[in-house]
Amino acid sequence: MSTPQQISVALDEKFLSFVARKRKDIPEKLKELSVLELYRRKDISSGKAAELLGMERFEFVRYASRLGIPFFDMS
């Protein structure tokens, strides 16, 4: 596995209030949102998304589905 990299990004306080209720939860929540978006755009597989979030693949697929991101694309 690759070494985690730390980055610094300036974000508006109001935006951050939508990301997470507690300040300490913001980094993990931003990671989760990023992984979900990469998966939604089909840039990463469900297996890779699950790995990045420390979940089992089936657990991730169910979680994404509950958030409105389908496993199957019927288009």
> Structure pTM?
0.86
Question: Quick one: pLDDT band at residue 1, thresholds 50, 70, 90?
Answer: low
Q: What is the pLDDT of residues 12-57, one digit of tens each?
A: 999 999 999 999 999 999 999 999 999 999 999 999 999 999 999 9
How many Cβ atoms sit within 10 Å of the Cβ of residue 29? 15
Question: Quick one: pLDDT band at residue 72, thresholds 50, 70, 90?
Answer: confident
Cα 25 to Cα 21: distance, rounded to the nearest angstrom: 7
The yes-or-no verdict on residue 61 having pLDDT over 90 is yes
Cα 45 to Cα 21: distance, rounded to the nearest angstrom: 29
Helix (H) or strand (E) holding 31: helix 26-40
**Helices and strands of the chain, counted as H and E runs:** 4, 0
pLDDT of residue 74: 64
Task: For helices 57-66 and 46-53, give the axis angle rounded to 10 degrees.
Answer: 100
Task: Parse the chain into domains and list their residue ranges.
Answer: 22-66
